[in-house]
Structure 1
Amino acid sequence: MKILVFGHSGQVATELRALDGDDVQITALARAHADLTDPAACAAAINAHAPDAVINAAAYTAVDKAESDAETAQLINAEAPAAMAHACAARDIPFVSISTDYVFSGAGDTPWTPADPADPQSVYGRTKRDGEVAIVKTGGRYAVLRTSWVVSAHGHNFVKTMLRLGAEREALTIVADQIGGPTGAAEIAQACVIIAKALESGSEKSGIYHFSGAPDTSWADFARAIFDAAEIACDVADIPSSDYPTPAKRPLNSRLDCTTTEAAFGISRPDWRESLTHILTQLDFPKD
């Protein structure tokens, strides 16, 4: 199966490139080869490469910056995926696009299901929601895969930030009232390929799905787990989100109900503690 990936150096795109082999041939497009601020160019790339499936692992993920750069975020997160979905529908090939828990309000403490109404509270969330709506409207073979708290040994993410800060300081204050499922980029990449293969046979499984690590936890408890696993002596003190204001509102409830994903594709929630162990091994932690 020849899969064209939008994205190259991001966390999930990097893990998708690592899956390239005899069974799946991955072609990942860097920004120089696919400018997501030019939706027509994205569609043209699909037609030029003529893949068997497309995975969109690229996005405008600077959540706070998006608040003052809404036009660019809209192009990359909504209009570009719409163009990709239309091109895939025209070629009758699967299209898998990664989305986010930020499409929800973040209220309550019940895990969000794919059927729950979107109510984004930030520009980033609104643009990702708009992308989802546009993809669904194409009517092709598609899957929108919402995920949360992506971590890996690559790029910028919470695990790498904690490892750096934990080595520099004796104590940190970490938000404890935001709850979600840390999710390994490697596991997301594997899920995307499984879903793309499943959609090869038809569009009956097209839809919006959730995929996040288990068990749900807070950022503060996740930080403690990182320090314990990496054998770093750094104390963590819990604080509320109100003590750490940001331009974009973060959802307090990022829990995702992933039961329909397991039912449709046989993909269960990965244990983020196992993902963390793998990431730390790649980063050579704990240090000797």
Structure 2
Amino acid sequence: MHHTGYQPDTVALIGAGNAIDGALQKGLQRVGFRVQLLTAEQLTSGQFAARADTIVINAASCGGSAHMDTARAACEALCAQPFTALLHLSSYGVFGGARRKKIDEDELPSPGSAGGRDWLACEQVLAAQENVSILRLGWQIDRSDRALLGRIIRGLLEGKPVALDDVSRGNPVTVADLARVVVAITQQLASGAPRSGIYHYGSADTCSAMEFGREVVDRVRSLYGEDFAAELVALEPSGDDRSSVLGCGKLRDVFGIQQRSWRQGLTRQVELWLERLQKPES
């Protein structure tokens, strides 16, 4: 086997149980890491024992709100495991909404929702551990068919109106871009980069869910033709602006990782989700 020069060259990936897992596993293997993909349940039930020469990537918190208890238990189990470095994937949700400026990494979390408190609780479990990095991500638009992209395309295919927020803004993250960033961080963790810190990542440009939806409709029409009917409906204003835009300067300064537009590669993402959602259930 060709030696990559990474020290260590083994990654234990605690999966999210959705599209993130395959993208991370393939991306890490493509650059030469040996990857062991585990579920949070395998970790918490004692079916896995890490070695000191292992990098752990913990995506368990990205599994959705219904799985946050298991994700927190996975974080607690990781505290008893040896590892060279641990990269924990978290969310902009640890902050409340309605921020007019970008949220820097040194701003104190102040979650305004139960989901945000769950994200923060997972971070706090790991905060006292050595060699732990936390990567907070902008809203994840395509990790499952219940996320924004899948919800929009499913509504369009079923001919149903799709109600979207046209007020709150964020800098979203696609699964493909998430994998790019995580792989790049892991390569550098295995090559002598700092092994602890808090980082943010979101796309270079911001949007509301409605703006994103209009762009998706344009991509679907480019594939189906201009006669494709689509109805996007703005949610009634509630007075609740939940805008959260992450500043990503520290990730750039420490790892040299540049932000990309959420529009980059969107046509291909739409094609893949159309194929997935149109596939007959077996």
TM-score bracket relative to the smaller structure: 0.7 to 0.9
SS at match of 1:260: helix
Distance 1:226 1:159 in 2: 8
User: Structure 2: how far apart are the matches of 1:6 and 1:219?
Assistant: 29
What secondary structure does 1:146 align onto? strand
Q: What is the rounded CA distance, in whole Å, between the counterparts of 2:78 and 2:72 in structure 1?
A: 10
| Alignment match, 2:77 | 83
The answer to whether 1:280 aligns with 2:276 is no
Matched, 1:116 2:111: no
Contact 2:145 2:151 in 1 (8 A): no
Q: Does residue 134 of structure 2 align to residue 144 of structure 1?
A: yes
Q: Deviation at 1:238?
A: 2.2
Match of 2:5 in 1: none
- Alignment partner, residue 154 of structure 2: 164
Mapped partners of 1:154, 1:102: distance in 2: 18
Q: Quote the Cα distance in structure 1 between the aligned partners of 2:22 and 2:119.
A: 21
Q: Is the 8 A contact 2:87 2:134 kept in 1?
A: yes
Aligned-residue CA RMSD in angstroms? 2.8
2:55 alignment partner in structure 1: 53
Whether the 8 Å contact between 1:176 and 1:240 is mirrored in structure 2 is: no
Amino acid at match of 2:124: V
Partner Cα separation in structure 2 for residue 202 and residue 270 of structure 1: 25
Would the alpha carbon gap of residues 166 and 187 (structure 1) be closer, same or farther in structure 2, given more than 3 Å must change? same
Give the 3-state SS of the residue equivalent to 1:195 in structure 2.
Answer: helix
Q: Distance in 2 between matches of 1:186 and 1:162?
A: 18
Report the CA distance between 1:179 and its aligned residue: 0.9
Q: Please show how residues 66-105 of structure 1 align to structure 2 within 5 Å.
A: 73=68, 75-88=69-82, 91=83, 93-105=84-96
Say if 1:51 and 1:224 are closer, same or farther in 2 by CA, change over 3 A: farther
Corresponding position of 2:21: 13
TM-score, normalised to structure 2, is 0.81
Equivalent AA in structure 2 for residue 81 of structure 1: C
Q: What displacement does 1:18 show?
A: 1.9
Residue by residue over 1:97-117, the C-alpha shift from the partner in whole angstroms, topping out at 9 and shown as x without a partner, is 100111001132211111111
Counterpart contact for 2:168–2:241, Cα < 8 Å = yes
Deviation at 1:211, TM superposition (A): 0.7
Deviation at 1:265, TM superposition (A): 0.9
Say whether residues 1:234 and 2:225 are aligned partners.
no
TM-score (norm 1): 0.79
Question: CA contact under 8 A between 1:178 and 1:241: conserved in structure 2?
Answer: no
Unaligned runs of 5+ in 1: 66-71, 244-249
In the alignment, the residues of structure 1 paired with residue 195 and residue 10 of structure 2 have an alpha-carbon distance, to the nearest angstrom, of: 20
Does the Cα contact within 8 Å between 2:165 and 2:234 map onto a contact in 1?
yes
Counterpart of 1:247 in structure 2 is none
Matched, 1:125 2:128: no
C-alpha displacement of 1:57? 1.1
Q: Secondary structure at the match of 1:229?
A: helix
* Total equivalences in the alignment: 261
| CA shift in 2, pair 1:152/1:275, >3 Å | farther
Where in structure 2 are there 5+ consecutive unaligned residues? 1-8, 222-227
Query: CA offset at residue 136 of structure 1?
Result: 2.3
Offset, 1:33: 3.1
Identity of aligned residues (%): 22
Does structure 2 retain, via aligned residues, the 8 Å contact 1:3–1:51? no
- 1:230 CA drift (Å): 1.2
